[in-house]
Amino acid sequence: MTIYLDYNATTPALPEVADLVYRMMVDDFGNSSSRTHEFGIAAKQAVEFARTQVANVVQVDKAEVIFTSGATESNNIAILGLCEFAEANDKKHIITTKIEHKSVLEPIKHLQTQGFDVTYLNIGKDGQVNVNELKAALRDETCLVSIMHINNETGSIQPITEICQILSSHEAYLHVDAAQSFGKYPFDLDNQRIDFISASGHKLFAPKGIGALIMRRRGFIKPPLKPIYFGGGQEKGLRPGTLAVPLIAGFGLACELAQNNAQKWCEHVAGLKAKLMDSLRALEAEFNGNNTSPYVLNFSVPGVNSEAAMVMLKGIVAVSNGSACTSSSYSPSHVLSAMGLSQEQIDGSIRVSWSHQTTAVPSDEICRIIKELL
């Protein structure tokens, strides 16, 4: 049976999460906005319980969490929701990086068409943003800095703590897209300087279609987000629509399980990664990015095309190349391009990602197959 090694694209739901989601769909199916009977009250209690479970991951108050359909929606609400504040205060400058997910880059590109000025920070060959470049890019009128935590393609971990330090003397809002790290990689995100965090359920063993936006208060002051669409006023009016109670409950449980196990998970996956790296070194593989997440390895072997390798690996392991996660059509990875990789390196890059559920990566077999292509 094919071994699934594409956990950065999506994870399966944990069985206990799936059981809870099922129960909430079939038995405890109330609408959390129904205030007139016990079905609604039970649903609301389940939502608020899950909200606390999500909040606990990054040590915020549950009032600072809203549920969304995933990180794409969270990113859009955080970025577009600040637009009115930025315009009213003449702060129409945004700083982001060249390696953000499209769900950050596209809303920012939209704001650019509305007269916002955007600085796209460069990325080094190591996959890291340069904090001095951020420092130099800040202006009085910068309203938003949006920098991801862990890159989905390379796993490069951005220096969130240093970024927070630089921003400690600036008022710009800081948004961190933590789709690949929330709950799984228990570092950096509890920093009080981060204003917004985007999280995604399906990267964390909850179902697809659920996520959260964390909106930290500064002291007692809420960030000045405005809704980007309108309806029944749910989730502080920022994400109107009937709440997906079963998915929310499942996401809450997934967060609690992750929080209790993340340290152990990180150690386990770091072992898998070290072993695969050792095997690949014999093929003179190049590892794309430094200081990368233990959950993923992005590499290229000179002379080997990733599409050809993936055909050969079919039936053995399910892996992807850099672009697979963001698009159904092939386009060269904007992340690897930003890192200055050659076209050959980009065409050769393979992303392998795993989790605590992965018992072993068949490193020897992967290397044997790749070697056949040399």
How many of the chain's residues bind ligand PMP (CB under 6 A)? 13
Mapping DSSP to helix (H, G, I), strand (E, B) and coil, where does residue 94 land? strand
Per the CB < 8 A criterion, the answer to whether 301 and 315 are in contact is no
Distances (CA, A) of 176 to 99, 168, 267: 13, 15, 24
Residue nearer to ligand PMP on the CB measure, 152 or 288: 152
Q: Kindly identify the residues of this chain, within the stretch 314-353, that bind ligand PMP according to CB under 6 A.
A: 325
Listed residue (19, 18, 40) closest to 30, CA to CA: 40
Per the CB < 8 A criterion, the answer to whether 143 and 85 are in contact is yes
Minimum CB–partner distance for residue 371 and ligand PMP (Å) = 30
Q: Is 155 in the site for ligand PMP (CB under 6 A)?
A: no
Locate 307 and state its tokens.
Answer: 């599409």
Minimum CB–partner distance for residue 335 and ligand PMP (Å) = 10
Among 32, 96, 103, 292, binds ligand PMP (CB under 6 A): 103
Active site residue 325: yes
Q: Is 296 in the site for ligand PMP (CB under 6 A)?
A: no
Q: Is 179 in the site for ligand PMP (CB under 6 A)?
A: yes
Q: What is the DSSP letter of 368?
A: H
Distances (CA, A) of 53 to 59, 204, 365: 10, 13, 40
Stretch that binds ligand PMP, among 68-76, 115-123, 133-141, 269-277 (CB under 6 A): 68-76
Residue nearer to ligand PMP on the CB measure, 55 or 99: 99
The amino acid that residue 149 corresponds to is H
Per the CB < 8 A criterion, the answer to whether 277 and 258 are in contact is no
Distances (CA, A) of 190 to 69, 207, 299: 22, 24, 30
Minimum CB–partner distance for residue 132 and ligand PMP (Å) = 24
Stretch that binds ligand PMP, among 59-67, 172-180, 225-233, 243-251 (CB under 6 A): 172-180
Point out which residues bind ligand PMP (CB under 6 A): 70-72, 101, 103, 148, 152, 177, 179-180, 200, 211, 325
Catalytic site positions: 325
